[in-house]
Amino acid sequence: EVLCEEALRTTIGDNLLWSASSDTQEGILASRSLRTRAYPCFSIVAHRGSQQIVRLKLEQYPGADQFLAEIINGAQLAYEALQYNRDLRNSRSSRDLLLEEQNAAYLASIQADKEKAEQREREENERHKLEEEQHRLVEEKKRKLQKFTEFRNRIRKEFPGEPSPSETDIIQVSIRLPANEPIRRRFRRTDSAKLLFEFAWTNPNVPDQFELLWGYPRR
């Protein structure tokens, strides 16, 4: 009779979320969960975190006014549980946001370290390339010098003998070195300029690279 009063029907009629008969499978399971001993049973169940908590369970109904007061009190308790869940969710959201920011900062630091490592690797590769190029140039210079040294040694061994002073159509050539000591030799007028350079290279005091200039007029 109490549950059928107009005041209760007006207050909770549109807010009833779920109901079941005690002779149905769902009703039996709900009765066991709520440990119901009398029917009808009116309950308000709220979630607090991961748990379900019974905030109101009525099995006796002395009057509509007291029943409404119990419902209001149970709803307030359920609201507190709801607010707890909201605060917990907000706390988790803040924690998740902080974790996201920390992860973003961590990933940014990893990316920065990666870019620095790649830059160091590029610089190291450039340094190696430069060292290899310098080494190649040094070795190339040594190889050319060795080859030219062998060339000069071969010239000293194979250079033809000096023409006799009694021969006709010969000229006397004098080459003054940077240290002013002259080297002299007779040449046939038919000898090539190449032979003149080779003669200069037979002297150990002549550098590998030089120019021959006529004295008067200089050319």
Taking only the tens place, the pLDDT of each residue in 49-105 is 666 777 677 666 667 667 677 777 777 777 777 777 777 777 777 777 777 778 888
Asked if residues 163 and 175 have their Cβ atoms less than 8 Å apart, the reply is: no
In the block, tokens 């009779």 appear at: 1
Cβ count within 10 A of residue 147: 9
The answer to whether 213 and 219 have CB atoms below 8 angstroms apart is yes
| C-alpha span between 165 and 62 (Å, rounded) | 156
Q: Is the pTM for the entire model greater than 0.85?
A: no
Name the β-bridge partners of 188: 170
- pLDDT band for 175, please (50, 70, 90 cuts): confident
Q: What is the pLDDT of residues 124-171, one digit of tens each?
A: 999 999 999 999 999 999 999 899 889 889 988 989 989 998 888 899
